[in-house]
Structure 1
Amino acid sequence: MRILSLNCRGLGSAAAVRALREIQERNNPQVMFLSETHLNKEGAERLRVQTYMDEIIVAESDGRSGGLVMLWKNEVKLQEINIHTNYIDALVDGDDDETSWRLTGIYGEPSWENKYKTWERLRELHGLIEMRWVVIGDWNEILYSHEKEGGNPRPMQYMQAFRNALSDCGLEDLGYIGDTFTWRRKRSRRASGMRERLDRACSNETWAQLFPYACLSNQEGLRSDHRPILLDTEYYKATAMSRKVRRKRFEGKWLKEEGVGEVVQAAWDASLSENGGDVTRAVASVQKALHAWDGTVLKKTESQAKGFGETT
């Protein structure tokens, strides 16, 4: 499953919707969580139609700021648990209780004096249900000082409050691939440039065990000052499966075969001569020669012997 999260900075214009559609077409998500939509229910429903999604949950904007939507396709079985101005909490149904899990889209309080409310609400959510859980969105805070570039240093107590909240809820940052920073403020006459990692996904251990191949990627943005982030629960599966292909190894049966010594000696001497005495390359050459010999000579001999036995 692919889950796209983006702080849109408003979706009231045709240009903003076009930018979102381009990001959507590039990543083909089954679920989208969008924050700062600035949309009421009617506007959110129009957006659902424009993005060709099947279902939607809406936390309405006050008309000037805020607004959250979670959209998904029918192939995903998703149902609402809780809605708040700062989050949409949902259940993703699996085939049974062992594969069902909880998805929360979060939008952290942007103002310094209210940041503690985000962590209080996260703890409240944690106390409601105990199950596999992933939280994704714009947290409006960084975990560590290296996640910020430019501007004044972030006060330590704010980052520590974020870390404490995650720890209390049994959540851990899933990491990322791509650019470190997900938000930027361009340099202007009045302000210096600044970049921060405000968008991320965090999960508990049981969710991570259910999706061992999951990966979060920080995508290229278009119109918003935030990058979209994409959580792909199967990202590393192809790589993991390719690594499970059986490695070629030394076969003990070769020691019983006549001619094995000659194969080893010939490959060893040739490699040392060609590669200036490089022992590592010589070992690799011997291994390659033995498997070639096994495939072209031994397997052929075994096949001939089997065929002879069947005709007598």
Structure 2
Amino acid sequence: MNDNVVQWRFTGFYGHPNWRDRNLSWDGIRNLHNKGDHPWVVLGDFNEILLSSEKEGGNARPNTMMRDFRNCLGECGLEDMGCIRDPFTLRRGDIRERLDRAVCNVKWANKFPRSAVINEEHVHSDHRPLILDTKYFDGNIFNQPRSRMKQFEARWLKEETVEEIVHTAWGKGKIQGIGPSLAERTRAMNVDLHIWDRDILIGPKKRINKLKKELEKLRRGPINAESQARQKEILVTIENLLEQEEIYWLHRGRANWLLHGDQNTSFFHNVATTRKKRNQIKKLLDDNGV
């Protein structure tokens, strides 16, 4: 084994849903702790809170249950990693709790000092999805987006108004006296399509984030027929935008051969991201060897 390689352990965790058997969950963590002293992080739904301030609404959590959870983490040398954004990870009716979290030992915290846990927005589930980003606070300048040549986006074909935009842009080029060349007309139409994308569509990811914020606001507000109808409408729109994003990454990943195969957005994202990293200039060497 390479001496420079440091092993670390990740545990996905789900606490026992029955509070009478919650001690079995803590015994499970203790057993894992005794199996080694590697850098260790545990992430998941613990079905328990650490402090009374991590729950709003409903009956108060018995202090003995929170204390047992805290004692277990203390015995295993695990600390709560905190979170970015809203701390309440479960919303059910008028009850909000922080049941999902990540905890780690000192060795893992020292190995990944720039890490963070991001609590994402609710969509279908009553639990928030959690993202563990080991480089959240890096601020690497090479991670900044680079300008690229503007090209046709396949996701535009999912928009109902795309044909109207194309016809209008093509006709406008004729009125403005743009030459009959197909290339000239196409370039002019491409400019209009990107203006439409920027000003109207603003990209699926931005639209999804905007809709998620509106959905979050509605879910925190009063429960009535109008609110529930709007929530259903938003969920349908988000589904359509997620499909557009999948097309976007399929296009970026040059994976057209899988068009009729497994529709896996994460696969296309990884293909595109890997290619970007491979093509990226990370270091330059000057004449002095620096």
Structure with the higher fraction of residues in strand conformation: 1
TM-score by length of 2: 0.47
Higher helix share: 2
- Which one has the largest radius of gyration? 1
